[in-house]
Amino acid sequence: MLHDPSVQAPWYRHRWPWLLMSGPAIVIVAGAITTWLAATGNTALVADDYYKQGLTINRVIEREKAAADLGVQASLSATPAAGGATRIELKLAMADAAKLPQRVHVQLIHPTRSELDRDLLFDGEGGRYSGVVQALQTTHWKLVIEDEAKAWRLQDSLTVEASGG
C-alpha cells in the first residue's frame, strides 16, 4: 500500500495540538494541587485571636521585666536520651536564691508548626531542672520559661542537633 500525500492524518496524530494543550493542562493540575494544599494545609501562622493576643502583650512585657528585676538567668542544654528522646537540662539563677521555684513551666515552640509545640513542667531543686522530651524534631526551638505563679517569664532558644547514631 502506497502512502497518498493528499490524505492527511487526523489531528490527534500530530504533535502540535498535544504540545499546545499540555500548557493549560499543567496549569489545571497545578491549580487543583494548590487548592487542595490550601484547603488541607496548616494555617497555624495566622492566629484566630490576634486582637486578644495584641492586648496581652503589655502583661508579657511586664513579666519579662519582672524576670530582669529579679535577676533571673537561665542556661540550658539538650542531649540525646534513650529511645530517640531528648534530655533537657535547665539551670536557673536568681539574685535571691531562696525565691527559686520548685517547678518551672517550659514551652518549646516550633518555628513554623504549632502541632509540634510542647508544654513541659520541670521539677527541680537548687535551680537545676531537667526532663525528657520524646521525639523532639531537629530544629531551632523558641523557649518560654516561667515560674508556676506566672510572676516572671524568660525567652530563650534551643537548637536541637541531629544525633549521629
List the CATH number of the domain containing 94.
2.60.40.10
Neighbours of 98 (CB within 10 A): 5
Please give the distance of CA 147 from its chain centroid, rounded to a whole number. 23
Looking at the structure, tell me whether residues 26 and 105 fall in a common domain.
no
Whole-number pLDDT of residue 157:
84
Question: Residue 26: which H helix or E strand, with range?
Answer: helix 15-40
Looking at the structure, tell me whether residues 98 and 29 fall in a common domain.
no
pLDDT band at 3 (very low <50, low <70, confident <90, very high): low
Looking at the structure, tell me whether residues 27 and 98 fall in a common domain.
no
- Does pLDDT of 2 surpass 70? no
- Tell me which residue range forms the domain holding 109: 50-159
Looking at the structure, tell me whether residues 67 and 136 fall in a common domain.
yes
Lowest mean pLDDT among 33-42, 92-101, 148-157: 92-101
Give per-residue pLDDT as tens, 54-65: 878 888 888 899
Pairing between β-strand 153-159 and β-strand 118-125 as defined by DSSP bridges: unpaired
SS3 (DSSP) at 153:
strand
Whether the predicted model's global pTM rises above the 0.85 cut: no
Kindly state the percentage of the chain with pLDDT values over 90.
Answer: 22
Helices (H) and strands (E) in the chain, counts: 3, 7
Q: Decide if 108 is inside a domain.
A: yes
Q: Decide if 3 is inside a domain.
A: no
Looking at the structure, tell me whether residues 149 and 79 fall in a common domain.
yes
Looking at the structure, tell me whether residues 35 and 58 fall in a common domain.
no
Q: Decide if 146 is inside a domain.
A: yes
Looking at the structure, tell me whether residues 95 and 151 fall in a common domain.
yes
- Does pLDDT of 128 surpass 70? yes
Asked if residue 89 lies in contact with residue 122, where contact means CB atoms within 8 angstroms, the answer is no
Q: Decide if 101 is inside a domain.
A: yes
Lowest mean pLDDT among 34-38, 88-92, 135-139: 135-139
d(CA 77, CA 91): 9
If one counts the domains in the chain, the total is 2
Give per-residue pLDDT as tens, 5-44: 778 889 999 999 999 999 999 999 999 999 999 888 876 6
Looking at the structure, tell me whether residues 67 and 146 fall in a common domain.
yes
Looking at the structure, tell me whether residues 36 and 69 fall in a common domain.
no
Q: Decide if 79 is inside a domain.
A: yes
Q: Decide if 68 is inside a domain.
A: yes
Q: Decide if 4 is inside a domain.
A: no
Q: Decide if 165 is inside a domain.
A: no
Identify which has the larger pLDDT, 165 or 60.
60
Looking at the structure, tell me whether residues 20 and 95 fall in a common domain.
no
Whole-number pLDDT of residue 165:
44
Question: Residue 57: which H helix or E strand, with range?
Answer: helix 57-70
Looking at the structure, tell me whether residues 63 and 110 fall in a common domain.
yes
d(CA 145, CA 106): 5
Whole-number pLDDT of residue 28:
98
Q: What is the DSSP letter of 113?
A: -
The three grid cell numbers given for residue 58, joined into one nine-digit string = 503589655
Looking at the structure, tell me whether residues 91 and 67 fall in a common domain.
yes
